[in-house]
Amino acid sequence: MNAQLDPRKGLSDQADRDWWRGAVIYQIYPRSFQDSNEDGIGDLPGITRRLPYLASLGVDAVWISPFFRSPMKDFGYDVADYCDVDPMFGTLADFDTLVATAHGLGLRVMIDLVLSHTSDQHPWFAESRSSRDNARADWYVWADPKPDGTPPNNWLSIFGGSAWQWDSRRRQYYLHNFLTSQPDLNLHNPAVQDALLGVARFWLDRGVDGFRLDTINFYFHDKALRDNPPLPAEARNDTIAPAVNPYNFQEHLYDKNQPENIAFLGRLRALMDPYRAAAVGEVGDAQRGLEILGEYTRGNDRIHMCYAFELLSKTRPTAAFIAEVMATVDRVARDGWPCWAYSNHDVERHASRWALPAEALAAYATLLMCLRGSACIYQGEELGLPEAELSFDDLRDPYGIEFWPEFKGRDGCRTPMVWESGAPNAGFSEAARTWLPVAAAHRAQAVDRALADPASLLHHYRRAIALRHAHPALAKGTQTGLRAEGDLLRFTRRHGAEEIFCAFNLGPAPAETTLPAGAWAPIGTEAGTAPVSTGRAQLALGPWQAALLRRTGD
């Protein structure tokens, strides 16, 4: 490890190899966070400028979506060079400055690694497609057509249509689970695995503290290229792909979720451990997401944590739904570690998706800080930003353009961050035009206004995060006794000698529950939890209210 490129002296818990367990991670979409050079696109120096804001929020780490060299067909998730910064975002020196500044503020830096596929502009693919016998001929997933010229099997792309694209150079099809310009790497080839581990090592040596692993369950495909079976209509859902996408019509047994992935994750974990780095994997599966989460995070020789899509759900997670999800986690991932998120760069913002009033957003924020697992916050979530309304002419996302108007794509959650309500482009950029328009409706919720209002959601997030940090039981403890009583969700967190009883009214009407036996004292009243009188057996909660009590005696 290069000490000059790894200035971790500002991190307060260097000795804690499990810093990631219970961490609060803030996701930055770099195109939309802060522009520093007036070109209308966010960049790395812009992120560095705003790091003190994130430190004041109290988060443990930042996750930065891709900033590598890319033709930007999928806005950085199509990588053309894993080991360089795209000029629109800055330089490697800018990245080094960002890492050093973050560490000086006590923030860890996680970057988004896209290991399942590259851009078709990557030199690896240029060589691979040039012939069937070059040094990288087997670095991607190539297959001959069927005798009638059609693709080798029935696999579908998440972005619509066949997952196979004909290449006239090799007269073969190549696999692309996403855009046709995103060919899938062949991780069955040990040389490909070695190259990807080399990428991870490059960034670890530069000082990063971990990775968000895009589409972690897509790394391997079935070598025999067997057809996926149809999925019964009653089993379909639009968790991973919109309902208008035929991707939902298949049971994806063979194009992802292959058992060979476990060994590769072990190799990646072994590489990361000496750096005290951690990774969170995105599990994209509509039927087996939590089960795969359990498989991938079990023990100490796989990946540290994963998130599935249960709390990124289209409909508001009720008390009963959360209890069911957590029961499933207990059954299939008891020895693993989840990471929960309500919003990210791929889904409609949850303030709109769940149609929540401000007090409900606060209740769900506190809940996120109390559930067993780590937590991700997407930029602007702490302001309560709703989904931005965009016209078709404003769209940049190929997913939305393909399925408009039934599915409007992901641009509505990717519009620029609002910093100053009265400034040009709300303080994001001084450019005449930004890559996506700043949502006019967001200006009233800009950071400057939220900071000036002690009752704002931003201040609530700060207090809720501080509450999690103040109590090891909330960050790293066990979770037991979880059940729903109508709209009321209750459970207990324990770590060492600390035991905390949690109750959440996730509904618009008052609710009551019975306290467990023993002596309890309320905590977190500064974060809006109910100021419960001690010695009472019955707990009454108002609409969208939480109560947290710490055991003080038997």
Three-state SS for 519? strand
Q: What is the DSSP string of 309-362?
A: SGGG-SS---HHHHHHHHHHHHHH-TTS-BEEES--TTS--HHHHTT--HHHHH
Q: Which amino acid is located at 140 in the chain?
A: Y
| Cβ atoms 475, 469 nearer than 8 A | yes
Q: CB pairs under 8 A, 24+ apart, for 2-7?
A: 2/205, 2/206, 5/96, 5/99, 5/205, 5/206, 5/207, 6/205, 6/206, 6/207, 7/99, 7/100, 7/103, 7/104, 7/207
Report the candidate in 423, 428, 335 with the shortest Cα–Cα distance to residue 388. Answer: 428
Q: Determine the 3-state secondary structure of 30 from DSSP.
A: helix
Bridge-partner residues for 511, per DSSP?
Answer: 541
Measured in degrees and rounded to the nearest 5, phi and psi for residue 511 equal -145, 155
The set of residues, in sequence order, having a beta carbon less than 8 Å from that of 89 and lying 6+ positions away, is: 30, 41, 42, 43, 44, 67
Token reading at 180: 């046709």
- State the Cα torsion 279-283-289-290 to the nearest 10°: 10
Could you tell me the two tokens for 324? 């069911």
CA distance 387 to 301: 39
Concatenated DSSP letters of 120-155: TTSHHHHHHTT-SSSTTTTSB-EEPPPTTS--SS--
Taking CA atoms, 298 is separated from 303, 335, 338, 389, in Å, by: 8, 5, 10, 41
97 Cβ partners below 8 Å, 6+ apart? 44, 45, 48
Candidates 60, 86, 214, 291; catalytic one: 214
Q: CB-based contacts of 489: which residues, under 8 Å, 6+ apart?
A: 319, 322, 323, 367, 482, 483, 503, 504, 506
Comparing CA positions, the residue from 62, 23, 22 lying closest to residue 46 is: 62
Contacts of 275 (CB under 8 A, 6+ apart): 1, 204, 209
Residue of 74, 282, 411, 487 marked catalytic: 282
| Secondary structure of residue 379 in the 3-state scheme | coil
Is 282 a catalytic site residue? Answer: yes
Q: Which residues, in sequence order, are CB contacts of 324 under 8 Å at separation 6+? A: none
**Residues contacting 398, CB < 8 A, separation 6+:** 73, 74, 159, 179, 409
In terms of Cβ atoms closer than 10 Å to its own Cβ (0-12, 13-18, 19+), residue 495 is middle
Candidates 265, 258, 347, 271; CA nearest to 305 is 265
Respond yes or no: is residue 260 known to be catalytic.
no
What positions carry a catalytic annotation?
A: 214, 282
